[in-house]
Amino acid sequence: MQLASRFAFRSPVLRADYPLSDDQIRTVAPSIFADTPHESRSERYSYIPTAAVLTELRKEGFQPFMVCQTRVRHEDRRDYTKHMLRLRHASQINGAEANEIILLNSHDGSSSYQMLAGLFRFVCHNGLVCGDTFADVRVPHKGNVTDHVIEGAYEVLHGFERVQDSRDAMQGITLDNGEAEVFARSALTLKYDDSGKALPITETQILRPRRYDDNRADLWTVFNRVQENLVKGGLSGRAANGRRQRTRAVQGIDQNVRLNRALWLLADGLRQLKA
């Protein structure tokens, strides 16, 4: 499943450890507060600004902790272009991790409302994105958009119960060294499968923990180590020509989400095989 919208490399992004205010959001993503749809939209286009939906979601206990807006080539689309919010519900925040609803939309017709399930791990400040098996809600710009988005948010929220069950099951599964290496090799292929070149780094590198508490052999911890090392980059490797290099962080929003979802599905598939 592809994202309803794509975000360019180095799109404006703001993430905080506390709920973002409208003023903070507006500095990064003014398109969220568009007063009207883009002039290219017809009368059949049911326009509900994301700001109005955000107001209703806040009333339901959802708060934004991250915002992003894609860059545009044409300035007349800047205030209408695609944007993303990551929201948490008050009932879904704990000391180590927070479930997040990822909301995507635009006001120029380039995407519908879309909601995905996500998970934010505080220890490494790196947002996981759960796979297609849990939640992927899309709302077209037709009819009562606001109510459908609210319903979709709760549909994603209820899906977190299955995410929790899968996560708990992963924590109860121990991988031996060979199984962890196979998982890491598959993860490397997910990131570098379109290069047609030798892998720049090894399974051992992406299995290496960045902190003492992550030096465990359960599937959940192995998955998190691999995910963090692939997404954050900074690992020493070699290019196809033999030259030394460091792996780049995955900074493109769309690329980040796609890789995260693929890694989640890989880990969840292994969980089912080991169950």
Mean pLDDT of 37-59: 71
pLDDT at 112: 65
- Report residue 181 as tokens: 């290496």
- pTM of this structure: 0.71
Mean pLDDT of 247-269: 82
Q: How far apart are the first and last CA of the chain?
A: 26
Q: Is 121 helix (H, G, I), strand (E, B) or coil?
A: strand
Q: How far apart are CA 26 and CA 265, in angstroms?
A: 34
Q: Is 119 helix (H, G, I), strand (E, B) or coil?
A: strand
Task: State the amino acid at position 83 in one-letter form.
Answer: H
Mean pLDDT of 200-228: 92
Handedness of CA 85, 90, 92, 98 (dihedral sign): positive
Other CB atoms within 10 Å distance of the CB of residue 62: 24
Q: How far is CA 203 from CA 182, 186, 209, in A?
A: 8, 9, 12
Q: Please, are residues 88 and 59 in contact by the beta-carbon 8 Å criterion?
A: no
The partner residues of 238 in beta bridges, in order of sequence, read 244
pLDDT at 187: 94
In this model, does residue 29 exceed pLDDT 90?
no
Give the long-range contacts of residues 22-25, CB within 8 A, separation 24 or more. 22/51, 24/67, 25/64, 25/67, 25/85
Other CB atoms within 10 Å distance of the CB of residue 44: 7
pLDDT at 4: 34
pLDDT at 169: 94
In this model, does residue 229 exceed pLDDT 60?
yes
